[in-house]
A = this chain, B = another copy of it.
Amino acid sequence: MKVAFIGAGRWAIALAIKLAEKKIRIALYDTDTRKLEQLNASRRHPDLPETVLLPETIVLSPDPELVLEQATIVVFATPSALLVEAANTIKPLIPKTAQALVSVSKGIEPKTCRRLSVALQTIIPAPPVVVLAGPAIPYDMVQGDPTSLVAVSENEAAAQQIRDLFTISNLRIYHHTDVVGVEIAAAFKNVIAIAAGISDGLGLGLNAKAALLTRGLAEITRLGLALNANPLTFSGLAGMGDLIVTAFSPHSRNHQLGLILSKGKEFPSAQAELTGVAEGAITAFAGRELALKMHVEMPITEEIYRILYQGTKPSESIERLLNRPLKREFY
Given contacts A235-B234, A235-B235, A235-B240, contact A207 B326 (CB under 8 A): no
In the bound assembly, the distance between CA atoms of A237 and B221 in angstroms comes to 14
Residue of A150, A240, A326 with highest tally of chain B CB at under 10 A: A240
In the bound assembly, the distance between CA atoms of A75 and B230 in angstroms comes to 38
User: CB < 8 Å: which of B143, B175, B236, B249 contacts A218?
Assistant: B236
B328 adjacent to A175 (CB under 8 Å): yes
Closest to A230 in B: B330
Q: Is A232 an interface residue (CB 8 A)?
A: yes
Contact string against B for A residues 203-240, beta-carbon threshold 8 Å, 1 for contact and 0 otherwise? 01111111101110110010000000011101111011
Q: Is A313 an interface residue (CB 8 A)?
A: no
Q: Is A30 an interface residue (CB 8 A)?
A: no
User: CB < 8 Å: which of B147, B204, B240, B248 contacts A208?
Assistant: B147
Interface range for A: 35 or more
Closest to A203 in B: B145
With a CB–CB cut-off of 8 A, which chain B residues contact A137? 205-207
Point out residues on A near B: beta carbons under 8 Å.
Answer: 134-137, 140-141, 143, 145-148, 150, 163-164, 167, 170, 172-176, 204-211, 213-215, 217-218, 221, 230-232, 234-237, 239-242, 244-245, 248-249, 322, 326-330
12 A-B pairs with CB atoms under 8 Å apart are A134-B211, A146-B322, A147-B207, A148-B208, A150-B329, A167-B326, A175-B328, A206-B249, A213-B244, A214-B235, A214-B236, A218-B236
